[in-house]
Structure formats: C-alpha cells, structure tokens
Amino acid sequence: MAVSEELAAFALTPCDAPETARAVARLSLIDWMAVGIAGADEPVAGVMRSMAREEGGAAQAGLIGGGRAPARMAAMVNGTISHALDYDDTHFAHIGHPSVGVIPAALAVAEHLGRSGAEMQEAALIGMEASIRFGVWLGRGHYQVGYHQTATAGAVGATVAAGRLMGLTQAQMETALGLLATRASGLKSQFGTMGKPFNAGLSAANGVEAAMLARLGIEARLGALEGPLGFGPTHHGAADATALDGLGADWMLETVSHKFHACCHGLHAALEAAAAIETSPDDIAAIRVATHPRWMSVCNQPAPETGLGAKFSYATVLPMHFLGHDTARLDSYTDALCADPTLAALRALVDVRADDALSEMQARLEVEMRSGEVQARIHDLDARLPLDQSAAKIMAKANALLGAERAARVGRAIETAAPPAELSREIAL
C-alpha cells in the first residue's frame, strides 16, 4: 500500500491507541495551551491577529489572545502563536514539533463543526502520529537540506486530523493528501525570525484547507506525496519504507520530548549537562561542547544580537546558565542580555564542535577551569522520565506560564475532554 493510502486509512480507522499514548497526547495538549496562551502578547501574535481581523470572514473558531476567524485562519493564527516562544514539544525521530502543526487544526475544525472534546483529542493524537511517521518517511536528508519538518510533515498530520473530524471518506482523504502535497512548505532559513513560528501556522492552515477542499469536491493528483514528481521525490525525501511499520499498533508519539528550557530543543542536552557542573563563571577558562552535526546548522548562532536569536545559540545559553540566568524563564532571553559585556566575555570561551558519535539527543560538555581542572558531563535526552514525573513537570511549567489557578483550569478541561468551544474560550482570555 502506498504511503498516501496507508495514512488515509489510518486517519479514518477507529482508534485503538493505548492509554499511555492518549495520556502523552493530553500532556502535549496541556503543554500546547500553556505555551500558546503565554505567547499571546508576542509581537508575531499581534501581527497574526491583525491579519485575521483585516481579512474577516465567518467567526468559526477562536484565536489565542481574543477574536474569532474562519477555521483555516484560526489554525494559522494559533499555530503561529503557539510556536512563537519555541517552548513546545519536539519529536527527534524526524526533528519536528508535533503539537503546534496539528493541534491548532484539530481545535479549529472541531470547534467549527461542533465535535466533542474526545473526538478532537483523538484526531489530534492520530494527526500528530501521522506527522511523525511521515517525517520519518521523508528522512533526515529532507530536514538537513533546509526544510522545516514542523511545517512539511506537520501539514500531513494537520490534514489527517482535520479530515478525520470532517468525516472524509477514504477517497476524499487521499485527495486531501494529494492536494496537501502541492501546498506544504516551510524552510529552516526562517529560524531566529518570526518566520519560524509562521511555519507552524502554515502547517495547521494548509491541513485545514486541504481537508476542506477535498470535502467540497476538489480533484487532485492522488499519491502526490510519494509518486513521480511528488512531494517526497522533489523535496529530498528518503521514502523510508519502514516508517509506517506498526502504524496504529505502535505509537511513536509516546516518545515525544517536552521542553523544560525556553529555547531550541537542540540546546537542551547541553544545558542538562551544564546543570551537573559546579563552578563560578570567574573560574572558567574554556567551555567545549560536542553535539550531533545536524544541530550545527540549527542552534549554533555564534553571537546573536536578539533574545530570539539567543534561543538558537549554544554560545549564549551556556554562559546564561553559568551566570545564573534561568533558561526555563521566558524573560531570560532579551536583546539586552545578548549585549551584556559579561555574557559576551564568557561567550567568547565557548567552542562548539560536531561529533558523529553522538546521537541527536546527546551532548558532551567540558568546562575547563583556570586552575587546569576539567569537568566533563554527557547528557542523553532519550533517558525518559516516567509519565507521572513528566506530568508533574508539565503542570509546573504551566503554573509558571499561566499561574496556578489558570493552569489547573486548563489541566481539568483537558483531562475531562471538555468541548472544543471551552478550550477556545480559555485561549481567548
């Protein structure tokens, strides 16, 4: 069976996901709402809501920070805003952010069509799984050459989620995926700018649009994800035949990573290694970082001048840590900090090297003291926390971002599968 057919069938089959997968999906939904609401006042959020107001249209779904718009536009606005802080989840099987590309599409369509909270959550789970699987099918070459998997593979997941909620037939779902093949887009060249979160918005909006057009009867080339001149062949796709093995039985979403530092996930292993090193910044003579080669083009900005750029810089976040700045706090990443002479002096001591022997989840850190002593640590993000510990950390993160009362309200709404309209009202506050 071709990848388009298999994904379409997966999208429409009754879901038999285990409770562990459903629990992880709920945690990602809580995390998505927390970082989305916290990003409501970011500059890009204002731009997106202004565009929605200017374009107008049917008030089908709510926007983060207030207002209503057609479902496609709501998905774009909310996808962009929820990725504005770059504090959302990551899956390292393909290096993509599943929640921001898929959940906004599922929420907007579910609210528009009056679907239940359980239906919305299940569609989001299936869509996020589809995005990861298709991202693995595309392979790392697709990401490494410059495409942003959050936007490309994520759009497939958004289409799957939206199409499931719309009740598409198998033929309509394949048509939606065929149309999506000519619509999906997003480049890593936007990293460090507002264009990066916009990529997530594109993912969600493209998915809603493709599914809606298929429901309305558009015709498109079937198999355009994998066929001749299709998305994979023209976008450096590897066509990994094993990517869909166990689809519907084994859930890759269970191994998603949630962020506990407010910066690019590629920096987290190094920061966790740094947490195990005790030193005064005045005693540091050199900081040496070894990381997987793919992170060198993602989060190795040597001297960013903005707080946003700092979130993609080993040379900035490690000095931040050793100088006592909390890398979990949103307000730690500022333009003023990037210009601080003390940080700049420590930044000059950072040397970042690629090491093929490390996985994308690992980093090795060496801190050399002026005395000649060297402290070395390695951290592997793949050493996963038990589910209850992850839940506690995500709720603590939500408390910090939203305040305890609102975080508890969000958590209850998701745990009880509250109607999408209720979640929409919460994000609009």
Give me the count of residues in the chain.
429
Distance (Å) of CA 215 to CA 117, 231, 241: 22, 22, 29
Asked which of 101-105, 161-165, 389-393 is least confident by mean pLDDT, the reply is 389-393
pLDDT at 263 over 80: yes
Name beta bridge partners: 351: 288
* pLDDT exceeds 90 at position 8: yes
Task: Specify the pLDDT at position 179.
Answer: 98
pLDDT reported for residue 385: 81
Q: Which residues contact 30 (CB under 8 A, 6 or more apart)?
A: 394, 395, 398, 410, 411, 414
Percent of the chain surpassing pLDDT 70: 100
Position 298 scores a pLDDT of 87
Tokens 């210009």 — which residue? 339
Tokens for 203, please give them.
Answer: 């993912």
According to DSSP, residue 385 is labeled P
Q: Three-class SS of residue 144?
A: helix
pLDDT in tens, 202-238: 999 999 999 999 999 999 999 999 999 999 999 999 9
Secondary structure in 3-state letters for 12-76: HCCCCCCHHHHHHHHHHHHHHHHHHHHCCCCHHHHHHHHHHHHHCCCCCEECCCCCEECHHHHHH
98 near 89, Cβ under 8 Å? yes
User: Tokens for 170?
Assistant: 């198998």
Tell me how far CA of residue 180 lies from CA of 19, 27, 48, 153, 155, in angstroms: 30, 28, 22, 10, 7
Per-residue confidence (pLDDT) for residue 308, from 0 to 100: 84
Determine the pLDDT at residue 328.
84
Q: 287: which strand partners?
A: 350, 367
Type of residue numbered 84: A
For residue 177, the 8-state DSSP code is H
Backbone angles phi, psi at 316, to 5 degrees: -105, -45
DSSP labels, 210-275: HHHHHHHT----TTTTTSTT-HHHHTT----TTTTTTBTTB-GGGG-B--SSSS-GGGHHHHHHHT
Neighbours of 241 (CB within 10 A): 9
pLDDT score, position 383: 81
The CA-atom distances, in angstroms, between 140 and each of 247, 258, 294, 365 are: 20, 21, 9, 25
Predicted confidence at residue 301, as pLDDT, reads: 94
Condensed to tens digits (0 to 9), the pLDDT of residues 272-331 reads: 999 999 999 999 999 999 999 989 988 999 999 999 899 999 999 999 999 999 898 888
Query: 88 falls in which pLDDT band (50, 70, 90)?
Result: very high
Buried (b) or exposed (e) across 145-174, using 16+ Cβ within 10 A? eebbbbbbbbbbbbbbbbbbbbebeeebbb
Task: Give the pLDDT of residue 1.
Answer: 74
CA torsion sign for 400, 406, 408, 412 is negative
Count of alpha carbons within 13 Å of 219, Cβ hemisphere only? Answer: 0
Report the C-alpha gap between 195 and 192 in whole angstroms: 8
Instruction: Say how far apart CA 322 and CA 344 lie, in whole Å.
Output: 13
Residue 384: per-residue pLDDT: 79
What's the confidence (pLDDT) of residue 192?
Answer: 80
Cβ neighbours of residue 216 closer than 8 Å, sequence gap 6 or more: none
Q: Report which secondary-structure segment, H or E, holds 286.
A: strand 284-291
Residue whose structure tokens are 């945690």: 27
